Amino acid sequence: MRRYGLRGVAVLYLVAVLLGPLAMVFYRAFERGLHPLWASLTDPNTIHAFKLTLEITAIAVPVNTVFGVVCALAIVRHRFPGAGIVNAIVDLPLALSPVVVGLMLFLLYGRSGWFGALFQDHGIQILFATPSMVIATVFVSLPFVAREVVPTLRELGDEQEQAAHTLGASAWQTFWRVTLPSVRWAVVYGVVLTTARCLGEYGAVAVVSGRVEGKTETATLRVQDYYENFNQAGAYGIAIVLAAISVIVLLAMTLLRPVESR
């Protein structure tokens, strides 16, 4: 009885905060039929927004995957002074509001910022352009891979790596043949979380992008744009596509994962 009670609470909670709103999004998107939805989704500016979001994600995810793995190795395997600080700093983006991140970049790369003048002198536009949006997205999605890999590496221990060394494997060979395969599911899970975070990023990108339609507008910004212009079908339509991409990524990971480690 008690078990069912607990399950009931969990399911109710999920319905109330997750499934309910999600169902509402679907309902609203299709409320006025397929035509306005399709028209909004195929609008050139919407397509550009999706392309931009995918472009930013395609840069941020690999960057953060490499950084996350390297960072986790540094924290777990190499005891250096300040490892604890590094460990804490990795979590910083989780604690900071994305809007604050955006403002930080504004201060750094703005006309009077530390780096702003430097790039401007060389004719490189950072703010109100793709570079600043990539930097903002990389920043907010930074912790996920490291957070997944650190505990797995700890649990793994270093005995397998030592065994590989005594068998003649170089540090590089040991990493590729032993360490990375052993933590691969943590990396994959981290990548999925990072991807979801990149697709959904709003606050930091909103601050640094300038939100120019068809130029620096990402999918999430486009949702806001449509919503403010009373195009509900369009706003909910983009939201559904974004949610669908995330779900597909999650499903792909679950299906790829071998049965025994699920």
Interface ranges with another protein (CB under 8 A)? 159-160, 162-170, 173, 177-178, 181-182, 184, 260
Q: Two tokens at 19? A: 């499934």
Minimum Å gap between C-beta 157 and another protein is 9
Minimum Å gap between C-beta 190 and another protein is 18
Minimum Å gap between C-beta 164 and another protein is 7
For another protein, the closer of residues 153 and 239 by Cβ is 153
| Angstrom distance (rounded) from CA 262 to CA 260 | 6
For another protein, the closer of residues 228 and 260 by Cβ is 260
For another protein, the closer of residues 178 and 207 by Cβ is 178
DSSP 215: T
For another protein, the closer of residues 42 and 166 by Cβ is 166
Minimum Å gap between C-beta 77 and another protein is 14
For another protein, the closer of residues 42 and 261 by Cβ is 261
Q: Two tokens at 176? A: 């590729």
CB 189 within 8 A of CB 148: yes
For another protein, the closer of residues 44 and 258 by Cβ is 258
Minimum Å gap between C-beta 158 and another protein is 9
Minimum Å gap between C-beta 191 and another protein is 18
The position carrying tokens 């999925």 is 192
For another protein, the closer of residues 27 and 176 by Cβ is 176
Distance from chain centroid for Cα 224: 19
CB 237 within 8 A of CB 172: no
Minimum Å gap between C-beta 261 and another protein is 10
| CB burial readout 36-57, b (16+ within 10 A) else e | bbeebbebeebebbbebbeebb
Angle at 140 between CA 25 and CA 202, to 5 degrees: 35
CB 146 within 8 A of CB 70: no
Residues 6+ apart with CB under 8 A from 90: 71, 75, 142, 143, 146, 147
Give me the count of residues in the chain. Answer: 262
